[in-house]
Structure 1
């Protein structure tokens, strides 16, 4: 037995087999499930490592993998958000059209849950991973890349040079929101953000502040940090509490996403205020429901279908050998102006 293959107290996984054999995880998966797809020399090498490690594939993973060609794992930090529901549906459509299968999970924006999900996906023998990371797991994601598993960041940029991304320019998106509000005469803002600060959240906040600073209005922005995540319920609670504890409201509630803006609008309406007239509200994502609200929402459009199509096809092209390198893409944000933002008149006008 080679020193590198000495068993540890932990059960060996498929990633360990791949690393010691010097092949991709997908190759190990093929040795186990489709040996005819692997050259005899590589198959013998992998089988020897499996024997030395005493690796035993998870039974449920073997059952899932048997007979399939390509498996894409998707990890999103909030699957309750319609944005990720729409994204996973679009990715799945592309995967199925190309004979592949997609499995997905959510992390509730907890890094430890995300890390555990990555391990489960590796044990299942996924061929590629698309992830909207909650942050803090770049090392784990880079290890997967080093093992030969293509990893693509989705809906936000990656801070790792090894992981390309498919996203829109979030800083530019919030700059468009800020410029629009300033142009309407708004002077005071409440930015509803999220305390864990995933990359997209940090970029959106930075873009908004930068645009205000460029116009000398940086002092007019208050930030509310949502405790448990940017959901409609948290947006509702934050604005409800703000109304109850503050005599003066800002000109506009600038929300991290449409989901939060929906909750903010509900709280304003219940307080007898009309979004867009008494207080402006903006969102981000341009989800389907935003134009169906009592006061249609001004927001930033993300081309979800185009982004998902690109991401799924890019991953599958690499897995199937149609492309050598995984290349990301940054889409341009588009400001969608609706009735939730209107020109404002101050007392001195």
Structure 2
């Protein structure tokens, strides 16, 4: 039989209310009484029923985090930052993977709302703002991560991907490349579209350069390999002299495909740049130039915004936009 709070109170010789204070507000109880109650807890093997406490409060101590792709180390770093910050307020982070699919994202959001999470951090697949607005209006604070709402109605933390795309393409142009290719997709993902638009702007402002777009079905290593094989199937004269991949996973797949045949030298024949600056970028067989996003800081900031939204429902929304940083490595350095 489970040990109850009443059992602990009897063993410690205190009231049930005192045990509750020790568990939830120990600063209101003398140190001697706290020690006595904890001795009784240890002796009886008492485990608090947190579900019951959350039921009374009407809200859990968990934050729901919905990301595009759990396999992408960028999002695990975001989660790490969120978890570090959440733990200081006695909150936990539950991570869910939409796998870049709208129906999966919708289901995760529904489940988190049913579980009465403290709040949600969401990287939307498409334009999920109407659905998320309804969730927020029903009482669940919500913050967008790695994405801004077009109308500014949500608190959000993101990186300026237009600037990031410009930074990547400008670097390739600066090292003398003129036949650029952007590999990424689907472009219905806002981050991909913004990075492509930024690159297009940089190329358009530079006479004599071109940018070809090659779409992918997902932002994965496998899709990068497929794109690499397509490039290798072309005559040498029809290949790009530089590739900007929409994220590092795609770039790593491209790198694997291009260098395995030994017919393409990186960066001599084709320079390659990725996006996110995950740990694997620096550890690649040819270290990968990348546009860095401060993933851990983004996770930390997202929880800060969520706490503020929970404290002041209906208050002003804060949008935090970090600047991207170019990290140059061997894949573009000649």
Tell me whether the two structures share a fold, i.e. TM-score over 0.5.
Answer: yes
Please tell me whether the aligned partners of residues 166 and 328 of structure 1 are also in contact (alpha carbons under 8 angstroms): yes
Partners of 1:189 and 1:221 within 8 A in 2: yes
2-structure distance, mates of 1:325, 1:238: 44
Aligned to 2:233: 244
Query: What is the TM-score normalised by the length of structure 2?
Result: 0.78
- Aligned residue for 2:65, secondary structure, equals strand
Match of 2:118 among 127, 140, 153: 127
Mapped partners of 1:63, 1:255: distance in 2 = 49
Instruction: Tell me the secondary structure at the aligned position of residue 189 of structure 1.
Output: strand
Where does residue 136 of structure 1 map in the other structure?
Answer: 127
Note the alpha carbon deviations across 1:140-184, whole angstroms, 9 max, x for none: 011122223221111122224321320111000111111111111
Which residue is 2:253 aligned to? 263
Q: 1:284 deviation in Å?
A: 0.6
The count of aligned residue pairs is 282
- Judge which range, 312-321 or 267-276, deviates more: 312-321
C-alpha distance in 2 between matches for 1:160 and 1:102: 27
2 CA distance for matches of 1:327 and 1:217? Answer: 41
List aligned pairs for 1:1-349, cutoff 5 A.
Answer: 65=54, 70-217=61-208, 220-227=210-217, 229-248=218-237, 249-272=239-262, 273-320=264-311, 324-343=315-334
8 Å contact kept, 1:65–1:124: no
Shift of 1:82: 0.8
What displacement does 1:63 show? 7.4
Give unpaired runs (5+ residues) of structure 2.
Answer: 1-23, 25-49
Deviations 1:230-264 (A, max 9, x none): 10111011111221244432111110011110111
**Contact in 2 for aligned 1:111/1:136 (Cα 8 Å):** no
Native 8 Å contact 1:145 1:162 kept in 2 = no
When Rg is computed on C-alpha atoms for both structures, the one with the higher figure is 2
| Structure 1 stretches lacking a partner, 5+ long | 1-36, 38-60, 344-349
Secondary structure in structure 2 of the residue aligned to 1:283: strand
Structure 1 residue 224 displacement after superposition? 1.0
User: How many Å separate the matches in 1 of 2:156 and 2:312?
Assistant: 20
Distance 1:107 1:268, change over 3 A: same
